[in-house]
Structure 1
Amino acid sequence: MSTSTIPTDSGPRMKFVFLVTAVAALGGFLAGFDTAAMSGANAFLRERFALSDFMLGWTVSCLIIGCAIGAAFAGALGDRLGRKKVLIGASLLFIAGIAVSALSPSLPLLIVFRMIEGLGLGLTSALCPLYNAEIAPAKYRGRLVAMNQLALVTGIFLGSLLAYGITGLGDELWNQATGWRILLGIGVVPGVLFLLLLFLVPESPRWLIKQGKPEKALPILLKIHGEELARKEVLDIKQSFKQEEGLGHATLKELFASKHRIILVVGVMMAVLQQVTGINAIMYYAPTIFRQAGAGTSGSLTQAIFVGLVNLLFTILSLWLVDKAGRKLLILIGSAFMTVSLTVIGYAFYSGNTSGPLVLAAILVYVAAFAVSLGAVVWVILAEIFPNRIRGLATAVCTMALWAMDFVVSQSFPSLISTAGPAVTFWMFAATSLFTFLFTLGVVPETKGKSLEEIEAMWETHRQDKENKDRLKTSLQKS
């Protein structure tokens, strides 16, 4: 992606911000690349290890257990050690996990090291968007945070191309013996690149100020904003932390306190809904779905490449729209189209009309709608809606919920397809997409163009208004 995606009216400052956030976003690339590699390899793993539907689901989704655990610890580790140090550690876990899993002589060893790889991905999935939100100016924060999703879908697309190329190097037996190892193991390359580039980026200025080191944060903010705005930003951030002096690190008890309840509900629900609408079932099992629809092995991998390309193009569109149209409108439009397209896919399988282009076209519409809405925008929302004090911990909890739902969907999808059938499975995803539309319409606020401190003040005003209304209601009932 070129720097033209980011407006250049701020001159060299935006170039600095873009380069820093692009490095952090590479964490998303690692997750996307693994998704595509496993999607291309799972049919060969099924034959190589004689896997049942359940065990195939477990082999694919065991990584997600590691992701959930990594995400659960990301907030506490990021708050204590800093975002940068934890990301460096996460890249090392990813490299070790993917290298050994690709060389594994047995299924148990493969599963263990996929979980270790997942630990690294879980840490990066929670901290990379958070880091970018804390670096980015408010005006461009949406698209800069969404770069994490762009990197993820770029990884999916490039991984799909590699899967097509690598599996074409030999026959079925070669792929069962060797091809899947190359598919998984090649992920070491972007992992090492991510590790090396992390040494070139600064620490989060908000984290530095929280640690009582504003003198280290100021030079970073000067590169982002220029002198006048940087000094104002330091004062605003210090003010937002002022009330928590002497309180130590945020705790789970504090996170689940009543004053944060509505924010946490919004964050957790958006994280869960991103997954239960079915995207990773399609991304992990796209070749399997297309084979169910009548395509051969080569044709199913080709169609999976189309899915990855559409995902990439519409994620780029989302980066352009998220700071223009806003977060809420994109999710409403996207979830509406997702509901319709998933209903059509279900009907195609129900009626047996899968031999033509209908299933592919409906899946491409679904992926496009997801990419422009839930795919990128949810990560933006999770990175920006929480107050400074609890942001690291809250983002970790939401990301853990996201990975947990990813696990449930990925683990259950092969069995659902075999038992309930494709039609019912896709209609279930359509129902959750409809719920996403209704929940967003009624509960999710718009945060476009607001600084992180302004968003925090917005929630505080909302809380005070609610308390005043509750007191008035109680008073009226007593009278």
Structure 2
Amino acid sequence: MVYDRPDFTKLEVKSVLTAGMGVFTDGYELYAISLVFYYIQKAFQLNSFEEGLVIASAYYGAAVAAILLGFLADKLGRKLIYGLDVSLMSLGILLQSLSNSFVELSVARIILGFGIGADYVLSPIITAENSNPKNRGKRMIVTFAVLWGLGAVTAALVEQILLVTNITNSNIIWRLVLLIGIIPAFSVFYLRRRIPETYKYLTRIKPKREELEKLERELKSKVAISLDEIPFSKRFKSAVGIIVISSILWLLYDMYSSTFAIYGPITIAGNLGLNPIEFTYAAQFLAGLPGQIISIYLVDKLGRKPLIVIGYAGVAFWLFMYSLLLIEPHYFGFNIHISNPLNAAESLTGQAALLGFTFYLLNYLSSAIGPASIIGSAMLTPELIPTKIRGTGQAISVAIDRLAAAFSITAFPLLLVKFGLPVLLATYSAIALISCIVTLLFIPETKGVELT
């Protein structure tokens, strides 16, 4: 075996599969709750605050777990923690399907969130640290954006299949939809215990002999060790600025994307004559997946920054257009009188509703081309900071993001009632513009750059 030109192909494929199925479970469970939420609301008679809290509880759990397990991943290694995340997800999934009250369901989803938080830290790191720089962007988008979206689509498909079987008990439907998410989570537990420690962790931090031998068999080559001798504290201090900036970008992204992903089927689908399942298929196959394919093709050619900026410019424009349609529909040739802005979305019917949905899809496509596939794929922090502090840095980003998303999701039903959808859409449009400027000014390009 030689030291130059190791073959990363097998390791990359295994990493994407192993990491991606955890993300698939995240997408399934975080989206499934929106699909069956009407049934849960009916079963437990939830008020507006409880509605937001049930959905957001997984995000609160994710924030707590991310900080603890991200730090441990730097000190003890990625592999030791890898597997614990899907175990926690599986436990949370099982408990939520057995819940009989608001409190039990919230606690179960917090446990589910523990697993998701750990997975949001580890999955992008595993893929990044086991990838050739020239393919790293593609691999990370497939691991996160593509498989998260497929998880959401699968949740819709599962509910559709259950409804076709003529199950009339809604209590059984929502429990089964949530429970089936345990299958992909449990399926990768064995793979996660078998995968070797990551290439970068072994060659830069702790070259354990047994794990090195496994890695060299995967790469069909010996690996060169180049240990990072700079102290953890010094590495961390030098990277604080970029961790904060990338965390802010992810926070801003999820302030609008998480609420839309979860509440879109509830707030937008109804006046189109679409049920939440049909809405999910349309959003993913007409906008999400095409945007991801474009991003996969361009991310390692054009770079991360241009795609984020182009995508966010599209998001800002199309959300503004949707907001304007809801506020002043006559600008678009529709003779619709909206007396109450709080009910603006429900006032759009026929061609007006279709145009609103088109604006939503174009926003979704723009996001998938850039922000969703890059920022939403947790790509920024792992690519921008050194291996020695990558777990801790990513943990901070995940914790900040999950807390912001949780607050947004908890508040969304209340804000929707108070301000109406037009104001929220205009706010999200402004967030996209701010994110565009932050990316241009502060984010370095990482296309083809070797991780340190």
**TM-score, with structure 2 as normaliser:** 0.88
Name 2:341's counterpart in structure 1. Answer: none
Matched, 1:62 2:62: no
Q: Note closer, same or farther for the CA distance 1:364–1:73 as it changes in structure 2 (3 Å cut).
A: same
Q: Note closer, same or farther for the CA distance 1:183–1:242 as it changes in structure 2 (3 Å cut).
A: same
Q: Write 1 or 2 for the structure with the bigger share of helix.
A: 1
| Aligned partner of 2:367 among 347, 366, 370 | 370
Q: Note closer, same or farther for the CA distance 1:49–1:351 as it changes in structure 2 (3 Å cut).
A: farther
Q: Secondary structure at the residue paired with 2:26?
A: helix
Task: Give the counterpart letter for 1:208 in structure 2.
Answer: L
Q: Note closer, same or farther for the CA distance 1:179–1:398 as it changes in structure 2 (3 Å cut).
A: same
Alpha-carbon distance, 1:399 to partner: 1.0
Q: Is this contact kept in 1: 2:374–2:380, CA < 8 A?
A: yes
Matched, 1:337 2:297: no
Structure 1 residues 233-312: aligned runs within 5 Å: 234-235=225-226, 238=227, 241-244=228-231, 250=232, 255=236, 257=237, 259-276=238-255, 278-291=256-269, 294-296=271-273, 299-309=275-285, 310-312=287-289
Structure 1 residues 39-438: aligned runs within 5 Å: 39-149=34-144, 150-170=146-166, 174-175=169-170, 177-209=171-203, 212-213=206-207, 215-216=209-210, 218-219=212-213, 222=216, 227=221, 231-232=223-224, 234-235=225-226, 238=227, 241-244=228-231, 250=232, 255=236, 257=237, 259-276=238-255, 278-291=256-269, 294-296=271-273, 299-309=275-285, 310-351=287-328, 354-355=348-349, 356=351, 357-378=354-375, 379-438=378-437
- List gaps (5 residues or longer) in structure 2: 335-347
Q: Note closer, same or farther for the CA distance 1:300–1:226 as it changes in structure 2 (3 Å cut).
A: closer
Q: Deviations over 1:219-267 (max 9, x none)?
A: 455456654xx544x23xx2xx1233xxxxx45x973x3x334322322
Q: Is this contact kept in 1: 2:159–2:177, CA < 8 A?
A: yes
Aligned residues: 424
Q: Note closer, same or farther for the CA distance 1:346–1:168 as it changes in structure 2 (3 Å cut).
A: farther
Task: Give the counterpart letter for 2:230 in structure 1.
Answer: Q
Alpha-carbon distance, 1:446 to partner: 0.6
Percent of aligned pairs sharing the same letter:
24
Q: Deviations over 1:368-399 (max 9, x none)?
A: 11122112212221211012222111111011
CA–CA distance in structure 1, aligned partners of residues 423 and 279 of structure 2: 22
Alpha-carbon distance, 1:107 to partner: 1.7
Q: Is this contact kept in 2: 1:102–1:185, CA < 8 A?
A: yes
Matched, 1:22 2:22: no
Q: Note closer, same or farther for the CA distance 1:47–1:193 as it changes in structure 2 (3 Å cut).
A: same
Q: Note closer, same or farther for the CA distance 1:314–1:442 as it changes in structure 2 (3 Å cut).
A: same
Q: Secondary structure at the residue paired with 2:275?
A: helix
CA–CA distance in structure 2, aligned partners of residues 162 and 347 of structure 1: 36
CA–CA distance in structure 1, aligned partners of residues 223 and 10 of structure 2: 20
CA–CA distance in structure 1, aligned partners of residues 382 and 109 of structure 2: 26
Question: What CA RMSD, in Å, does the superposition of the two structures yield over aligned residues?
Answer: 2.2
